[in-house]
Amino acid sequence: MRFHHILRSAALVVLAPCALSAGQINFVYPPEGSVIPSVAKTFVFGNIVPSTAALTINGERVQVHSNGGFIAYLPVTAGDFSFNAALDDGATAQRKLKVKEAADARVSTGTMRLELTSQISDSEVFPGDYLRISAAGTPGKEAVFSLGKLAEDEPLLESPAGSGRYYGSYRITDAGHVREFTPTARFKAGLFARGASAKARGTVRVLKTPAILETSTDTVVLRNSPEGGYFMFLPKGVKLVSTGRSNGSRRISLAQGVEAWVEDSKVQAAAGLPYPFAPLTETGSIKLRKTETGSSASVALYEKVPFIAEALENGLRITLYYANLHTNYVVYDSSDTLVKNVAFRQAASNTVEIDFETSPGALWGYNVSYSTASKALQVDLRAAPRPALAWPRPLSGVTVVLDPGHSTYLKCENNVRLPLQSVRYSSLPASAHCTLDGAVGPMETFEVNLNLAIAQKLKKKLLDLGAAVQLTRSGDENVELADRPRIAKDLGGDLFISLHNNAIGDGEDPFSQPRGFTVYYYQRQSRALAAALHAAYLKDIPLPDEGLRYGDYLVVRPTWMPAALIENAYMILPRQEEQLNTPAFQEQLASAGAEGVLNFFRVQPQPKKGKK
């Protein structure tokens, strides 16, 4: 699944029915003319005819699988580079690409040069913030930076020595009348010596008061640092307090000592009262009611403020920021058997915690949103389904949504979608500006097709066990990645399983470790499902175990139902690609998936015939 490479191509090659003739070499990856990162070695794969021929690439002998597929991990050099392949019968082939230069390669000991690598776009800071300055240039020089009239000739230290990378920082104090400046840097030089200088591309503005923003689209992600992990997911219209801006991201102050970052393009200026009056709000009454799937709670709020939902062992905790506790009433529904109690507290200044307490393990899933009908936060809590658990159809009463990963299209320039069957991928040069959705193997097998084949076999097995089964796609239709969890919810899924086959990124060594199957989860309530699937694969699938893992993938982030992602095998390894193409191995994978679902629901083994 983790195999995404942007192809750039001027012309699309129509697939013609042509079997490889004797003495042929077919490179599949990397695509012709592609650009790969700055690496010392990378992998290349494809296939040859005849499969018994001896293959060398750039003079190194390459092992060939019995079906003709090969993968090699070979040295590369920066700039224009070629893989030159040859068979022992004299047949040759070439695959050209470009390898990016290392960042250090920009530093030259020739003509003196200096470049600011920070403040590449406009920034905003507050008094008390540290402004960090970085630069790259000729090694071994004495460098300084200036911040307009605010600071002059502050030191830049070279680290490590001789690297040509320079760093410095300055704490912004009361800037007085200085409200905007452009950082500059220079090398100090003697009386008759010549130095070098640089100017930032972005300006720095010193703010007086925080700005009030609001999210401008749905599913806005807040990170714990500009390049950090996901911290919060927010709908449209949620108010945020911005206390800075850097490199296209806004710094958000949530509470004392609690900060997050959001892309500048995902927020806009908010109308209404200025800081510090906005966006403070307070909680009102909490009302619960029984629903078909469990329980729904309405929390009165007068502003859309940031929140975090966290599944606990015995319920769900909602943390509200910019909020003061003023809840005097909780109204329970006597027919509601899921929520046992609601507890709340002022956890810190402008921070409220609300716990919806259930019996241990009773919470199956949840969804938190702002009501469109009233000023309230709606918290939907889901109870567990009730499978029959009795053979021969123990999964009756359960709906499983299977997600065959990816779509059968190349995504090209100007939003053009090109069906995979209309092109020959190995002949598609990089100048087409197309992106392959998913992975491809040495024999030019596409992951998207294998994912569907495995899903269809797993669907049949689950149907035979009594489950209702839905697929996010049943053929060649295009389904966007972001839509798949929503589709699973709309289809009434109790479980969501996304099926994939794996690859690695440019520069990684395919032989550095045993490679096989992996199972991922994200939400706490999804771990048990992922663990049950992983245990079944460990028992039944004869491939290396890469483990049960937490993984921040979009398809395992849904909160409404337990969700897991399975990487069945590695597309890029010739032997595993060959296995994946056999119906028998696909059946084996499907059987392991079905066994995992049975184990998750703790279904007892099927009684042997003749025994009660």
Above 60 in pLDDT, residue 110? no
Q: Report which of residues 425 and 67 the model is more confident about.
A: 67
Confidence at residue 501, expressed as pLDDT on a 0 to 100 scale: 98
The first and second tokens of residue 391, run together, are: 């053979």
Cis peptide before 210 (omega within 30 of 0): no
Mean pLDDT of 66-92: 96
Confidence at residue 385, expressed as pLDDT on a 0 to 100 scale: 96
Topology of 105-206 in CATH? Immunoglobulin-like (2.60.40)
* 427: DSSP letter: G
Mean pLDDT of 86-102: 93
pTM greater than 0.95 (yes/no) = no
DSSP-based three-state secondary structure for 258: strand
> CA-based angle 36:41:46, to the nearest 5?
75
Confidence at residue 247, expressed as pLDDT on a 0 to 100 scale: 85
**Of 554, 573, 580, 576, which is closest to residue 565 (Cα–Cα)?**
554
The first and second tokens of residue 323, run together, are: 């909020």
Dihedral, 31, 37, 38, 40 alpha carbons, nearest 10 = -50
Confidence at residue 469, expressed as pLDDT on a 0 to 100 scale: 98
Strands 69-75 and 41-49: antiparallel
Above 50 in pLDDT, residue 17? no
Q: CATH number of the domain at 211-269, out of 2.30.110.10, 2.60.40.10, 2.30.30.40, 3.40.50.720?
A: 2.30.30.40
Confidence at residue 4, expressed as pLDDT on a 0 to 100 scale: 42
Dihedral, 525, 528, 531, 533 alpha carbons, nearest 10 = -100
Q: What is the CATH number of domain 281-383?
A: 2.60.40.3500
Q: How many CB atoms lie within 10 A of CB 430?
A: 21
Confidence at residue 478, expressed as pLDDT on a 0 to 100 scale: 86
The Cα 83–Cα 93 span in angstroms is 8
* 490: DSSP letter: H
The Cα 584–Cα 579 span in angstroms is 8
* 274: DSSP letter: P
The first and second tokens of residue 341, run together, are: 């109690």
The first and second tokens of residue 320, run together, are: 């509200």
Strand spans (E) along 76-199: 79-87, 92-99, 114-116, 123-125, 130-137, 143-147, 151-158, 165-171, 180-181, 183-187, 197-199
CATH fold match for the domains 21-102 and 211-269: no
Asked if 192 and 218 count as a contact pair (C-beta separation under 8 A), the reply is: no
Confidence at residue 539, expressed as pLDDT on a 0 to 100 scale: 97
**Of 249, 332, 252, 338, which is closest to residue 287 (Cα–Cα)?**
332
Split at pLDDT 50, 70, 90, the class of 610 is low
Q: Report which of residues 354 and 17 the model is more confident about.
A: 354
Confidence at residue 191, expressed as pLDDT on a 0 to 100 scale: 58
Amino acid code (one letter) for 455:
A
Please report, for the chain, the start and end positions of each structural domain, with discontinuous segments joined by +. 21-102, 105-206, 211-269, 281-383, 399-408+446-600
Asked if 205 and 124 count as a contact pair (C-beta separation under 8 A), the reply is: yes
Confidence at residue 392, expressed as pLDDT on a 0 to 100 scale: 96
Distance (Å) of CA 384 to CA 209, 393, 396, 455: 48, 18, 14, 24
Above 70 in pLDDT, residue 194? no
85 forms bridges with which residues in the sheet?
57, 93
Q: Report which of residues 585 and 20 the model is more confident about.
A: 585
Mean pLDDT of 118-141: 91
The Cα 546–Cα 543 span in angstroms is 9
Asked if 136 and 115 count as a contact pair (C-beta separation under 8 A), the reply is: yes
Confidence at residue 19, expressed as pLDDT on a 0 to 100 scale: 45
The Cα 86–Cα 75 span in angstroms is 17
Please tell me the chain's helix, strand, coil percentages from 3-state DSSP, rounded to the nearest 5: 15, 40, 45
Above 70 in pLDDT, residue 104? no
User: H or E stretch including 564?
Assistant: strand 563-570
- Which residue is associated with the tokens 């078909």? 292
Asked if 597 and 532 count as a contact pair (C-beta separation under 8 A), the reply is: yes
> Tell me: the pLDDT tens digits for 30-43?
999 999 999 999 99
> Tell me: the pLDDT tens digits for 278-316?
788 999 999 999 999 999 999 999 999 999 999 999 999
Split at pLDDT 50, 70, 90, the class of 378 is very high
Mean pLDDT of 179-191: 87
The Cα 207–Cα 131 span in angstroms is 13
Q: DSSP per residue over 382-424, as a string?
A: EEPP-----TT-TTTT-EEEEEE-S-SEEE-GGG-EEEGGGB-
Mean pLDDT of 167-182: 85
Above 90 in pLDDT, residue 333? yes
- Which residue is associated with the tokens 């066994």? 595
Above 90 in pLDDT, residue 498? yes
Split at pLDDT 50, 70, 90, the class of 171 is very high
Confidence at residue 176, expressed as pLDDT on a 0 to 100 scale: 67
Q: How far is CA 572 from the centre of its chain?
A: 21
Q: Which CATH class is domain 399-408+446-600?
A: alpha beta
* 101: DSSP letter: P
Split at pLDDT 50, 70, 90, the class of 463 is very high
DSSP-based three-state secondary structure for 165: strand
Above 80 in pLDDT, residue 338? yes
Split at pLDDT 50, 70, 90, the class of 611 is low
% of the chain exceeding 90 in pLDDT: 77
What is the average pLDDT score of the chain?
91
The first and second tokens of residue 482, run together, are: 């972001």
Above 70 in pLDDT, residue 6? no
Mean pLDDT of 546-575: 96
The Cα 562–Cα 28 span in angstroms is 37
With b for 16 or more beta-carbon neighbours within 10 A and e for fewer, the 58-67 pattern comes to beeebebbee
Above 70 in pLDDT, residue 549? yes
21-102: which CATH architecture?
A: Sandwich (2.60)
Strand spans (E) along 291-362: 294-300, 307-312, 315-321, 323-324, 330-331, 341-348, 351-357
